[in-house]
Amino acid sequence: MPVSKRDHLLTTAEQLFHEQGFHATGIDRIVSAAGVVRMTLYNHFSSKEALILAVLDARNQRFIKSLDIAVASAPEGHATSALAEAHGQWLNAYSQHGCIMLKAMGEFAEHSATIHALAVGAKNDLLQRIEAAVARDGLAHCPGLARRLFTVLEGSNTTVALLGVATALADTREMIELVLDAAMRDGP
């Protein structure tokens, strides 16, 4: 099935925003890379801000879906590990330039409350999924566990761009294992 022009624009814009930043990527660059004219972009998105919101929303939906699938198929007691592994697979496949949501939070904190709020909401989506996985694994009695796991995963978003995917993911797996082992030792 052929990709729609809207989807092609979203994919192209996502790649450019992720690699070059939101403010550094102009509409002319996007339409040129997508092989369309400006009017095609504006037929699908009313503004650059609308395009950015659509890109971030679509990316977050794909990310959250990948986590949800991993958790749903995890064996009993391994939902949190499965979520962390899915996060690592996402970083490996899509985030070698760091986290696009963190970029959006940084670039739009003072420029667009709407874009900033969407990116913050995406981070809250991740935290909620970690909390649910921790509860599913019977570790809800460990105060702050989900928050600590979130911190480790968010750290991997940053270190992947600096240390490379293999090192960042190996270190993240080790830290997740240490945090989960400590929580299991503490018991209910």
Which residue, 82, 95, 58, 181, is CA-closest to 130?
82
Q: Provide the phi-psi class of 35: left if phi over 0, else alpha when psi is between -120 and 50, else beta.
A: left
What H or E segment, with its residue span, contains residue 100?
Answer: helix 100-108
Instruction: Render pLDDT for 154-171 as a digit per residue (tens, 0 to 9).
Output: 999 989 888 988 999 999
To 5 degrees, how large is the angle CA 88–CA 65–CA 45?
110
- Residue 74 structure tokens: 């995890």
Which residue, 183, 159, 184, is CA-closest to 170?
159
Q: Within its chain, how far is the Cα of 188 from the centroid? A: 31
Question: Which domains are assigned to the chain?
Answer: 56-186 (1.10.357.10)
DSSP state, 171?
H
pLDDT band at 95 (very low <50, low <70, confident <90, very high): confident
Instruction: Render pLDDT for 113-163 as a digit per residue (tens, 0 to 9).
Output: 999 999 999 999 999 999 999 999 999 989 999 999 999 999 999 898 889
